[in-house]
Chains A and B, each alone.
Chain A
């Protein structure tokens, strides 16, 4: 327990002292996972809404795929993205492997199904008559979708939190596609793994505490947005 306590103290010390490397690692974590969540929203919300409001053959299969995707193992995504991005792979010409861009791509694949799945559930959770009523009142289809999304605001923000939570906490994919390179692709989770492996447990705990604090801060803002009246 001593170790836990001194780790906590060290986390506070590192943050207060503004340790440049810790700040940089924290910033990169936020940018990679935040960026991935942002793009996941742009892809996942329209996809989830579309799935919720349309009927077509194969829809159930597609929804099953999205729901399966909500539990994608990060290491599998990491492996898949690594194979894609190898110099000899199909997207090798982009020279993305071992860059933050590759990490965003991998985390996007993890977060997008989460966002799509929860958006789908949120929209379908609204009263089924609401959309018909909106259309009857003369709303254009786009206006109707806009109102539905606003009505499903609680669920949508939950989708953002779940998507962000899934990627900020994962280590398997960013380790594989980023390589945990110091000053370039090292994020809080991979730094924690490395420091623990090197026997620097206090530092590992400190990084873990910072990760939790970061996650808490982001969720605090999102929750404030979600719960405001």
Chain B
């Protein structure tokens, strides 16, 4: 029942519905749409530089951190933030087409390429946590105590023990592929399961199948109550998981809301946001889920 109270309390504690203003517009576009057909739907939702589209990753949303950062940003700046939670690959893809105004992602190599190709204007590391290899406590592949995360994966492959991959070009998936390359293993076979889901879904799948998987520690901690999976390998340098905010190139993307994107990037580096990040999860999980990197 503790879970019930927690989940319910979380919802009740959310900010009041901003629909007092939205209702009139909704009614308006329903009316105009009904009389004039599809194009009229557009008129009810005024475009404007007050909207900021943030493309970010499911790990930031699934852990619950966004639910604290978004209202704080909106109160501090007056912008309205639209966070779209996708994999890092898709988030960078949205950025590459100028469909988002600012990115918060975690795949350093891909981010550097993004900037080198001229899509991004600025990139700043905001926070980090780390990746951990989780799996069944029985550890049939003997991954525990491996000298490196790559070696642990190689042991899983040799044992043919089930491993769930995100398989979605997310930051987690990119790191996983780097680790496989380090030990020159091409993961293939019935034991290697490509889920194509967010981190929460993959953890649950791994738990159901007694499989191994790579996860960021934040999502694992946030979901730990419902999981039997245990941490088998962590604390290695190659498992650090840095999150950076990227603003887009004004020269390349004239239609992007640059002031809004820059405002969000500045907000994440502010003392207020860094304090939110530092405290997030301490109460609920007994330890913070992320470590702020701008103000330590």
Q: Which A positions have Cβ atoms within 8 angstroms of B? A: 6, 9-10, 13-14, 17, 19-24, 27-28, 31, 35, 38-39, 42-43, 86-88, 92, 94-101, 104-105, 108, 179-184, 194-195, 197-203
Contacts and interface: CB of A to CB of B under 8 A. Distances in A.
Contacts of A94: 39, 42, 47
Nearest to A6: B4
Contact of B44 (A20, A42, A101): A101
Given A35-B29, A197-B58, 14 more contacts: A6-B4, A21-B14, A42-B37, A88-B255, A95-B42, A96-B41, A98-B84, A100-B26, A100-B45, A105-B38, A181-B82, A182-B83, A198-B64, A199-B204
Contacts of A9: 4
A24 B3 contact: no
A38 B30 contact: yes
Given A20-B16, A21-B17, A95 B34 contact: no
Given A86-B97, A88-B97, A202 B3 contact: yes
A207 to B, nearest CB: 10
A197 B38 contact: no
Nearest to A27: B19
Interface string B61-74: 11010010010000
A14 B11 contact: yes
Given A10-B8, A101-B42, A197-B200, A179 B84 contact: yes
A20 B17 contact: yes
A203 B38 contact: no
Contacts of B275: none
Contact of B84 (A87, A181, A200): A181
Contacts of A198: 62, 64, 200, 222-223
Interface residues of B, number: 55
A200 B17 CA distance: 21
A201 B44 CA distance: 35
A182 B67 contact: yes
Interface of B: 1, 3-4, 7-8, 10-12, 14-19, 22-23, 26, 29-30, 33-34, 37-39, 41-42, 44-45, 47, 51, 53, 58, 61-62, 64, 67, 70, 80, 82-85, 97-99, 198, 200-201, 204, 222-223, 225-226, 255-256
A127 to B, nearest CB: 32
A195 B222 CA distance: 12
Given A38-B34, A42-B34, A98-B53, A88 B99 contact: yes
Contact of A199 (B14, B17, B45, B200): B200
Nearest to A21: B14
Given A27-B19, A31-B26, A88-B98, A199 B226 contact: yes
In the A-B complex, the 9 residue pairs with the smallest Cβ-Cβ separation, listed nearest first, are A95-B47, A24-B17, A197-B200, A94-B42, A101-B41, A200-B7, A179-B84, A203-B7, A199-B223
B113 to A, nearest CB: 21
A21 B11 contact: yes
Contacts of B42: 94-96, 101
A172 B291 CA distance: 34
Given A14-B8, A24-B17, A179-B84, A31 B99 contact: no
B84 A31 contact: no
Contact of A183 (B17, B64, B97): B17
A44 B61 CA distance: 39
B41 A104 contact: yes
B11 A184 contact: no
